[in-house]
Amino acid sequence: MTVEIPKASIPKALTGASLTIDLAAIVANYRLLCAQAAPARTAAVVKANAYGLGAEQVAGALQRAGCRDFFVAHLHEALSLKPTLAPGAVFYVLNGLQPGAQAACADAGIIPVINSLEQAKLWRDLAAERGVVLPAAVQVDSGMARLGLMAADVAVLAADTDFFSHVSLALVMSHLACGDEPGAASNAEQLGRFEALAGQLPPAPRSLANSGGIFLPVGFHGDLARPGVSLYGCAPNDAPNPMRPVVRLDARVIQVRQVAAGEGVGYGLTYHRERPGQIATIAIGYADGWLRSLSNVGGAYSHGIRLPIAGRVSMDSITLDVTALIEQGFTLGLGDEVELLGPHQTLEDVARDAGTIPYEILTGLGQRFHRTYLEG
Ligand SMILES: *Cc1c(COP(=O)(O)O)cnc(C)c1O
């Protein structure tokens, strides 16, 4: 069944490209991650609009599939998403509290991830002022030097009985720097430090594993796993990808033209053919997240034939060398679609060509696409 969600979608004829998001595949990926992480429970990381795919649709589908816990980066993401879900969803804000945000966070029943003693004080003071006990997650830095209480701060917080009379510990968490590298020595070191630091705090469920961490030994799974990227079909590490693909992106042809031998194509005239050929221009560009670093490197597909990007990626259009396709007897014209993400080209392929990671391709996917959500 194809569910069209008009609110999120621009009619196809008015756009240059169509993004298809398979919610059933996201649910299947969630179930696979649940099985792999068990007996730990599995949350869903839906920050950055569910990695660009639509937080409302994704979180709704996952909640219907039994997911209870959701992680976002910013409080405003939780505030806008929570009311769209059925009651019972638990939200954690990874970046924790900004000064002035405490009341809104507490009013909405959202759990901040406390990353520093300053954030701990903001939350404790609000609880004291209101005369209530407020739940918090506490993040400890087990060796990434990004977010979380350092060892000395953990000792200070652990000794602060006043804090724990105002704040109940809902979760102790940390984050792996190399979760996608099963052979990295830092993983075991981080696990050891995490357990030692968590052990100083009052008893609470523990959470360490992102997508990659779920595919590390069971000791890394804790009580609550926090996958993001693998829900959306990306490989958790360098091994063959066990996840189901979730996104498909097709861009439309807006012009096909002949080029002479030696004729320059695109800004800077950086592409030339030795023989005459055919160039197709498609209606997608770097303003849609199809990165300029794909200039003269990336490609698209039609009938399984690779169509190399010819010249530089422009803001709203890309030129493809389609000579090989035409020479094999296929035609291509105004309104026809070429595949940018799908069975012939994965997010991993595009990320490699662009010199980046699948996360950046996903979260950069533009707002100008016709979007279709498929539900099982
Ligand atoms: C983004 C994030 C995750 C999810 O990571 P993936 O690699 O996408 O699975 C989990 N935990 C924290 C703290 C994060 O910032």
Give the mean pLDDT per block of 10 residues along the chain (376 residues): 59 94 98 98 98 98 98 98 98 96 98 98 98 98 96 98 98 97 97 98 98 97 98 96 98 98 97 98 98 98 98 98 98 97 98 98 96 92
Calpha distance 270→310 (Å, rounded) = 8
Residue 229 alpha carbon, nearest atom of ligand 1: 8
pLDDT at 267: 97
Q: Is the dihedral of CA 342, 345, 349, 355 positive or negative?
A: negative
Residue nearest to atom 1 of ligand 1 (CA): 228
Residue nearest to atom 3 of ligand 1 (CA): 210
pLDDT at 307: 98
For 341-359, b/e burial (b = at least 16 CB within 10 A) is bbebbbbbebbebbeeebb
Catalytic annotation present for 267: yes
The answer as to whether 332 is a domain residue is yes
Query: Which of 200, 232, 264 is the C-terminal boundary of a domain?
Result: 232
- Which CATH number does the domain housing residue 137 bear? 3.20.20.10
Say if residue 160 is in the same domain as residue 228: yes
Q: Is 211 in the pocket of ligand 1 (CB under 6 A)?
A: yes
Say if residue 139 is in the same domain as residue 49: yes
Say if residue 102 is in the same domain as residue 194: yes
Q: Is 302 in the pocket of ligand 1 (CB under 6 A)?
A: no
The answer as to whether 240 is a domain residue is no
User: Which residue range(s) make up the domain with 125?
Assistant: 23-232
Q: How far is CA 65 from the centre of its chain?
A: 19
pLDDT at 292: 98
Q: Is 368 in the pocket of ligand 1 (CB under 6 A)?
A: no
Residue 51 alpha carbon, nearest atom of ligand 1: 8
Query: Which of 199, 232, 265 is the C-terminal boundary of a domain?
Result: 232
Please tell me which residue in 7, 12, 30, 47 is annotated as part of the active site.
Answer: 47
The answer as to whether 355 is a domain residue is no
Say if residue 67 is in the same domain as residue 189: yes
Query: Which of 184, 203, 232 is the C-terminal boundary of a domain?
Result: 232
Give the CA count within 13 Å in the CB-facing half-sphere of 267: 10
For 272-286, b/e burial (b = at least 16 CB within 10 A) is ebeeebbbbbbbbbb
The answer as to whether 197 is a domain residue is yes
Whole-number Å distance, alpha carbon 272 to ligand 1 midpoint, is: 43
Domain count for the chain, please give it: 2
Q: Is 236 in the pocket of ligand 1 (CB under 6 A)?
A: no
Say if residue 162 is in the same domain as residue 308: no
Calpha distance 361→103 (Å, rounded) = 35
Whole-number Å distance, alpha carbon 362 to ligand 1 midpoint, is: 14
Mention every residue, 6+ apart, whose C-beta is less than 8 A from residue 192.
Answer: none
Give the CA count within 13 Å in the CB-facing half-sphere of 180: 15
The answer as to whether 238 is a domain residue is no
Say if residue 223 is in the same domain as residue 285: no
Say if residue 87 is in the same domain as residue 214: yes
Say if residue 65 is in the same domain as residue 186: yes
Q: Is the dihedral of CA 122, 123, 125, 130 positive or negative?
A: positive
pLDDT at 9: 83
Please tell me which residue in 30, 82, 121, 267 is annotated as part of the active site.
Answer: 267
